[in-house]
Amino acid sequence: MRAVIAEDSVLLREGVSRLLAESGIEVVATCESADELMVLLPAEKPDVVIVDIRLPPSYTDEGMRAALTIRARHPGVGVLVLSQYVEVGLAMQLLADSADGAGYLLKDRVSNVKDFIDALHRVAAGGSAIDPVIVSALIAKQRNRDPLSRLTPREREVLALMAEGRSNQGIADEFAITLRAVEKYVSSIFSKLDMPSTAGDSKRVLAVLLYLRG
Amino acid sequence: MGAVVPPRVDGSARRPPNYRKVLVISSAGAIAGACLIALAYTGPEVAQPGLSAALACWVTLPYIIAGLIAWRRRPDSRLGMLMVTAGFATFINFLVWSSNDLLYTLGVAAQFLPPVLFLHVFLAFPSGRLESTLDRAVVLAAYGAAALTVPVIVLDADDPRDVLAAVDLPAVADFMHKLQLVLVSAMSLAGIALLIRRRRRSGRPLRASLGLLVDSFSLGLLMIAGLLLAGLFGWTSVQGPLRLATFAVIGTAPIVFLAVLLQARLGRASAAQLLEELGVNPGPAELQDAVARALRDPSAKLAYWVAEFDAYADVDGRQMDPQLGPGRSVTPISQDGRQVALLLHDSGLDDDPRLLSSVAAATGMAIQNAQLQVELRARLEDLRGSRIRILQAEQRERRRLERDLHDGAQQRLVALSLELGKLGYQLSRTSEMRARLDAANAEVSAALAELRDLAHGIHPVAVSDYGLGVALESLATRAPVPVQVVGATEGRLPEPVELAAFYLVSESLANVAKHARATSAVVELKQEATTLIVEVRDDGVGGATTEHGAGLRGLADRVEALGGRMQVWSPVGEGTRVRAEIACGQ
């Protein structure tokens, strides 16, 4: 797998770069700004790009704009946006009409090596990774409302992992249950929420997020 | 003060002609009129005596009469004297009708004086002075050409009635006569160009309709030029009708000139009424409006001197710089010998220094209250400005702090937690070291979460970076009760406005969580022209006031500093409604 990192902090750029290398991911290029990223992208042809949301020169929305541009112009490249803060509205802007190959995580998530690398693989493979903070805030908002209140606690946990972009196998591994058990939970959730069951993990992500956003 | 020049007042001391002079001139005018009729009927070469006499009187007497009235009523303008002169010069030209050879020769000698004097009058209107060097050069050249008549008469022995004919050089005389025709018509055309240039330079909003009429008399100059050229090229067929039309236009001019000059006089009468109309203690804007009406200059503005700030202020107390643009003039306004304000007005009014000085005097007498009010407003404006500056300085400082946290502590902690994570990942899940590393990492994560909240509290960076929409959705999502966000802004608004709206919603929703015992809330955004309206409503217990919570009071201060206002309705048992209107004009 080929990755490019756009991050202005040397400390983090080097840290993430080493983490990826140690996990068997080839870091083909690193850069400090969105402009550099856009220049080297066509030549490097990475599977995934890790981009800091705040990049020079103004340190406002440069990273986000670069992410949206890449998603529009290079649909084959997964984009994982890292940020010190996460906003529901920004997640929805990033996903827009498809969660394919898109990720939006707090920077803190790099400390959980297994989950982070897993998320990166998902995004590179066309799946998605949405920060648990966003998902839990959305679920908390709807918790006491019908029909979410009719879900069992375990169903709610499964719903959260679905919204984060996990596959059924990933959810099965997380809870140490069988794939069949996960499938049963999923179909029960969709039927309780009166949602059409969707094929494909990332389509499921967008459907669930839109449902939770209300 | 350096940019401002005092108005020109020279000429205002010129005295009107006394009654004897008036009597002499008007008698001479009457005699001239009678002579013209007599000459028309007795002249050997006059074709239609009735029509000729009428036309002759039409281009002569109006100049004498209008000139005399203008001279008396507006002695500050030399135009009256000039018009009287033009009238008599035209009269002398008509002596060519006389059967007496001496009078005939005198008439011929004066033949170019009327067109040149008309040119002079048109260019000198309304002050009577030729303002620019070009004006003076054109008029002088025209007089020079008119003076060539004398050698022409002396050289032209072909004319049997010419009593001055001395040398017989008809070819030279003919050439010089043609030269005169060319020169005078050229100067008339140059005069038109000058009038057009003057109009372009100072488009006079003042007395606009009459100004247009006056300018239309450049048509008169054009016709004079045409008439002279017709003489030069011998276009006899057009000469007759052209002469009629030219005379008609030329004879109307003095009447219009007089009307314009006297209108300023009416203005002076309105200046006298100014004080009466103002009554006691007019406000700053009332005074300015009355002055504009008295001057008939809707562009007239007062610049009040505010000593405290060492600056001029407009009627609303906003500081202003009385720089004079093209076509603008200034008249100082004094009270008890102290200059208290400036009257900024159209330069066209400089032609009437008496009107200006009487309006300025009346304004000076009535200005005290308006002056005090402007000072007060200027102080309020200053206060408002300093509140905005304090607010902006605070925002700058908060943004800097947030950036420092983001670039410093937060990045380092993330890097640290990354290293701890990597170390732990290499160890077996069951090892004791792994457990301790994971615990340490959990501490770092907790620190990062706290730091994130702290940074967000210092400066909600999403508002600045992505706007109210994104920031408010996060607020609504995190709120403990269901919050519905309705409406949106039209694109991005100035950062202070967005921040004020964000803090208002943030604080209100925090109050909903803490005090209101509400089950739901609505956040509504509405943008009306240059005002952003933000409203937060809940269905809780009510009873909130800006006096009690320091939070709400601080919000009100912030909104008011931006020139907005905030209101809280919170009747007990009926929920709370916080509404702010914030000016968001760019």
Domain locations in chain A as residue ranges:
2-130, 134-213
**What's the confidence (pLDDT) of residue A96?**
86
Which domain covers residue B320, as residue numbers?
A: 280-378
Q: Do B422 and A88 touch (CB under 8 A)?
A: no
In a domain, B96, yes or no: yes
Residues ≥6 apart with Cβ < 8 Å to A162: A171, A186, A189, A201, A204, A205, A208
**Partner residue opposite B470 with nearest CB, options A18, A90, A114:** A90
Q: Which stretch of A79-88, B124-133, B292-301, B502-511 has the lowest confidence by average pLDDT?
A: B124-133
**Partner residue opposite A87 with nearest CB, options B452, B464, B470:** B470
B548 in the same domain as B515:
yes
Express each pLDDT in B234-245 by its tens digit.
Answer: 777 777 788 888
**Partner residue opposite B473 with nearest CB, options A12, A89, A145:** A89
Kindly state the average pLDDT of the residues B526-554: 84
In a domain, B137, yes or no: yes
Whether residue B486 lies within 8 A of chain A, CB to CB, comes out as no
B323 in the same domain as B186:
no
B179 in the same domain as B58:
yes
The pair of structure tokens assigned to B470 is 């994104």
In a domain, B390, yes or no: no
Counting one residue from chain A and one from chain B, the pairs whose CB atoms sit within 8 A come to: 87
Question: Distance from B371 to chain A by nearest Cα, in Å?
Answer: 47
Express each pLDDT in B46-77 by its tens digit.
Answer: 778 888 888 888 889 988 998 888 888 777 77
Q: Centre a 10 Å sphere on the Cβ of residue B175 and count the other Cβ atoms it contains.
A: 13
**What's the confidence (pLDDT) of residue B59?**
87
Separation of alpha carbons B415 and B490, rounded Å: 40
- DSSP-H helix ranges across B234-331: 236-278, 284-295
Separation of alpha carbons B578 and B506, rounded Å: 12
Whether residue A154 lies within 8 A of chain B, CB to CB, comes out as no
B41 in the same domain as B73:
yes
CB A130 within 8 A of CB A91: yes
Total domains in the fold of chain B: 4
Express each pLDDT in A64-100 by its tens digit.
Answer: 999 999 999 999 999 999 999 999 999 999 998 889 9
Residue B552, phi-psi category: left (phi > 0), alpha (psi -120 to 50), beta (remainder): alpha
Whether residue A114 lies within 8 A of chain B, CB to CB, comes out as yes
Residue A4 has phi, psi (to 5 degrees) of -120, 140
Q: Which residue has the higher pLDDT, B114 or A29?
A: A29
**Partner residue opposite A108 with nearest CB, options B412, B448, B464:** B448
B301 three-class SS: strand
Give the fold, CATH level 3, of A134-213.
Rossmann fold (3.40.50)
Separation of alpha carbons B366 and B343, rounded Å: 14
Of residues A157, A154, A109, A155, the one with CA closest to residue A130: A109
- B545 pLDDT above the threshold of 80: no
Residue B4 pLDDT grade (very low, low, confident, very high; cuts 50, 70, 90): very low
CATH number at A2-130: 3.40.50.2300
Separation of alpha carbons B440 and B420, rounded Å: 8
- B3 pLDDT above the threshold of 60: no
B570 three-class SS: coil
Chain A 21-40, CB below 8 Å of chain B: which residues? 22
- DSSP-H helix ranges across B110-169: 113-124, 133-147, 149-155
Q: Do B471 and A87 touch (CB under 8 A)?
A: yes
Whether residue B462 lies within 8 A of chain A, CB to CB, comes out as yes
B86 in the same domain as B215:
yes
B483 in the same domain as B367:
no
Residue B299 has phi, psi (to 5 degrees) of -85, 0
Q: Is B387 exposed, middle or buried (0-12, 13-18, 19+ CB in 10 A)?
A: middle
Parallel, antiparallel, or unpaired: how do β-strands A102-106 and A128-130 relate?
A: parallel
B256 in the same domain as B108:
yes
Question: Distance from A111 to chain B by nearest Cα, in Å?
Answer: 4
B419 in the same domain as B363:
no
Residues ≥6 apart with Cβ < 8 Å to B51: none
**Partner residue opposite B415 with nearest CB, options A11, A54, A64:** A11
B338 in the same domain as B299:
yes
**What's the confidence (pLDDT) of residue B268?**
56
Residue B543 pLDDT grade (very low, low, confident, very high; cuts 50, 70, 90): confident
Kindly state the average pLDDT of the residues B364-389: 89
**What's the confidence (pLDDT) of residue B1?**
38
B310 in the same domain as B454:
no
- B522 pLDDT above the threshold of 90: yes
Whether residue A60 lies within 8 A of chain B, CB to CB, comes out as yes
Q: Tell me, what CATH number does B370's domain have?
A: 3.30.450.40
Question: Distance from B200 to chain A by nearest Cα, in Å?
Answer: 48
In a domain, B384, yes or no: no
Separation of alpha carbons B212 and A24, rounded Å: 87
In a domain, B3, yes or no: no
Tokens 């959980």 identify what position?
A112
Q: Which residue has the higher pLDDT, B124 or A22?
A: A22
- A61 pLDDT above the threshold of 80: yes
A60, A111, A133, A138, best to mutate vs chain B, most B CBs in 10 Å: A111
B155 in the same domain as B51:
yes
Q: Centre a 10 Å sphere on the Cβ of residue B551 and count the other Cβ atoms it contains.
A: 17
Measured in residues, chain B has a length of: 586
**Partner residue opposite A89 with nearest CB, options B410, B469, B478:** B469
Q: Do A110 and B469 touch (CB under 8 A)?
A: no
Residue B31, phi-psi category: left (phi > 0), alpha (psi -120 to 50), beta (remainder): alpha
In a domain, B387, yes or no: no
For this complex, say whether ipTM is above 0.85.
yes
B227 in the same domain as B87:
yes
CB A5 within 8 A of CB A17: yes
In a domain, B61, yes or no: yes
Q: Do B414 and A89 touch (CB under 8 A)?
A: no
In a domain, B508, yes or no: yes
Tokens 């002596």 identify what position?
B95
Q: Which residue does chain A place closest to B403, by CA atoms?
A: A59
Kindly state the average pLDDT of the residues B195-220: 62
Question: Sign of the CA dihedral B110, B111, B114, B117?
Answer: negative
Q: Which chain A residues are Cβ-neighbours of B445 within 8 angstroms?
A: 108, 111
Q: Do B414 and A12 touch (CB under 8 A)?
A: yes
Average pLDDT, chain B: 84
Beta strands in chain A (DSSP E): 2-6, 26-31, 48-52, 78-83, 102-106, 128-130
Q: Do B466 and A61 touch (CB under 8 A)?
A: yes
Residues ≥6 apart with Cβ < 8 Å to B491: none
Whether residue A141 lies within 8 A of chain B, CB to CB, comes out as yes
